[in-house]
A and B are shown apart, each in its own frame.
Chain A
Amino acid sequence: MTAAEDILSRPAVRRRRFGLSNLRGRISWTFVAGFLILLASLVLAIAPGLIAPYKPAAFDYKAILKPPSLAHPFGSDNFGRDILSRTIWAYRIDLQIAFFGTLFPVVFGTFVGAMVGYYGGWLETIFGRVVDAVITFPFLVLVIAIVAVLGPGLFNLYIAVSIVGWIFYARLIAAEIKVQKRLDYAAAGRVMGYSTARIILRHLLPNAITAALIYWMTDMALCILLGSSLGYLGLGAQPPTAEWGVLIADGKNYMSTAWWISIFPGVAIVITGLGFSLLGDGLSDMLRPKR
């Protein structure tokens, strides 16, 4: 090799290695902020008993509708239940809603999206009609209608969200797979004789899934909002379960006299939703592949 060739074939200046350290220097503050918020939420959800000062359903008739004080930092409701404790206990329910409400949509939507994007043809035509049919209705209206038919309760809420939610993941994945499968690395995989499953799972999906992962984070926040909305309407979690939507509904008759009943669960929703959004935003910066 001549000297000139030697210089040209030397590694480029950027010397980052693959793996976790590859992300070093790319970790964004939004990711860290979102991660910390969600970590704290997770701790509250796993061990509310250790942190909350009272049991979530403990009545105290000596402390009815008391404003925030040292004994009840977030105040108490019309049964004398501690709002702080109920808000903390609700983390468990609402994070569950966020996770189980989106789990099936993510898995099934990714699968359908990969198939539709890869094979196209009549599969794509059918899928297109299904998408049209579903997005004609506002998401919330459709979910409320399904829950109303199935009956209120968390499990039926998961079913309703799953029936509708997978569409959005499938659309994102299908669009992205369609782009990726035209690139030469997919052709190279076929020339190599790799199976279709390997090409989709090992090659196309890792490059196609980023948008769906980020949407998942936002979707979890939306799902909490939805769960709370349905809880508020009496279609989701049922009282006396401590769930943010239920808590807000509990306080709706006392808004002018005891604002704290509804406000603090609302703040918890906002903070958790913010956590998911920040995490998704940070992930989108970090997962963007370099070309």
Chain B
Amino acid sequence: MSEQQRPSRPLEPPILAVDDVVVRFPVAHSMLDRLAGRPPRAVHALNGVRLEVRRGETLGIVGESGCGKSTLARTIVRLIEPNDGRVRFEGHDIGSLSGSERRAFNRRVQMIFQDPYGSLNPRMTVRQVLTEALTVHAMRPKSEIPARIAELLDLVRLPADAADRLPHQFSGGQRQRIGIARALAVEPEVLVADELVSALDVSVQAQVVNLLLELQEKLYLTVLFVAHDLRLVRHISHRVAVMYLGSIVEIGDTEALFSAPRHPYTRALLDAAPDMDPSHRTGRAGARGELPSPLDIPSGCPFHTRCPYVFDRCRTERPLLTERNPVQRAACHLVDFGRPGASIVA
């Protein structure tokens, strides 16, 4: 995989917008809890997430496990109802779509799943999976379906005779291609890829990721690429959003974000990533301590319990995502953090 980054796209209107979305998962509240007077608790999976995705771009979403990136992906495709805030697709709130609008939304926004074993019905052949997608959304007349299936398999580089086989007859990488083919069958505009390759061998990862890149160019797809692998995200994304405990702490053009992170957490994340080149080893401190429980998100800045630069204001006031330069925004009270020439250059 090359380390070179993709130039950012010309400015396009946002196709997807996430407006202050909050998602809470209630934790089981037993009779005993009620008797003891304990209030019901909830996991704050998303804690006011705001972002925009431009048509044709790839937005990478990174963060530690449990930071809410998968929840964000699932909220965007309507698998999860937000408790607060909304997701807009071309300006329309996806939570209030009518029946036919919802079908159109489902066709235009598709998802590829993380688990290559769970994401395919073990009893359906590839042909059945693709035929179902093509017929339910009336993508092709019946007579053209076999030809379209051959086309789709070719598109994801699966052999033509794969059509009549069952999922268990494929490898993990091949299954992810089937998942991609299923999503592409309905000719979507937005593709949400949730940890597309994290379950695959490294050798296969590159193939699947490069396939996705190629398909994006060919079909001018908008891609949301959710992953925890920084190098992968850097390779594939035009822009990157960094999540921490249900919030976006930094978002910006890939090149800018990776070369000059403006949030201490991004810095820590980049420093923690393994690097083969000893000259890159900085020996910087990074984040201290453990990730707090999403049941009990710290007050103020969610990162203040681990931040090496913490000061009083961080403990009480939650920083908003504000512009640092035309291509980068960060949620940190230290507005100079990471700015070249500033006093706090991390």
Residues of A within 8 A of B (CB): 1, 5, 8-12, 14-18, 22, 183-185, 187-188, 190-194, 198, 202-203, 206-207, 289-291
Residues in A whose Cβ lies below 8 Å from that of B123: 206-207, 289
Binds A, one of B26-34, B55-63, B163-171, B244-252: B163-171
Instruction: Tell me the smallest distance from the CB of A180 to a CB of chain B, in Å.
Output: 9
Which residue of B is nearest A13, CB measured?
B169
Instruction: Tell me the smallest distance from the CB of B332 to a CB of chain A, in Å.
Output: 35
Instruction: Tell me the smallest distance from the CB of A185 to a CB of chain B, in Å.
Output: 5
Known: A9-B174, A193-B136. A290 touches B118 (CB 8 A): no
The reply to whether B119 and A184 contact each other, CB–CB distance below 8 Å, is yes
Residues in A whose Cβ lies below 8 Å from that of B105: 193
The number of residue pairs between A and B whose CB atoms lie closer than 8 Å in the complex comes to 105
Complex formed: what's the CA distance from A198 to B79 in Å? Answer: 17
Residues in B whose Cβ lies below 8 Å from that of A22: 166
- Residue B264 is within 8 A (CB to CB) of chain A in the complex: no
The reply to whether A192 and B106 contact each other, CB–CB distance below 8 Å, is yes
Known: A11-B161, A11-B162. A191 touches B125 (CB 8 A): no
- Residue B158 is within 8 A (CB to CB) of chain A in the complex: yes
Interface size class of B (residues with CB under 8 A): 35 or more
Q: Which of B103, B110, B121, B164 has the most chain A CB atoms closer than 10 A to its own CB? A: B121
The reply to whether B166 and A10 contact each other, CB–CB distance below 8 Å, is no
Offer 19 A-B interface pairs, CB within 8 angstroms, sorted by A.
A8-B171, A9-B158, A11-B169, A183-B118, A183-B119, A184-B119, A187-B74, A187-B113, A188-B119, A191-B77, A192-B137, A193-B103, A193-B136, A202-B132, A203-B124, A207-B121, A207-B123, A289-B123, A291-B167
Which are the 6 A-B pairs with shortest beta-carbon distances?
A193-B106, A290-B168, A184-B119, A184-B113, A289-B122, A183-B118
Residues in B whose Cβ lies below 8 Å from that of A15: 165, 169
The reply to whether A185 and B119 contact each other, CB–CB distance below 8 Å, is yes
Complex formed: what's the CA distance from A291 to B119 in Å? Answer: 11
Residues in A whose Cβ lies below 8 Å from that of B113: 184, 187-188
Instruction: Tell me the smallest distance from the CB of A182 to a CB of chain B, in Å.
Output: 9
Partner of A184, one of B102, B114, B171, B186: B114
Complex formed: what's the CA distance from A203 to B124 in Å? Answer: 8
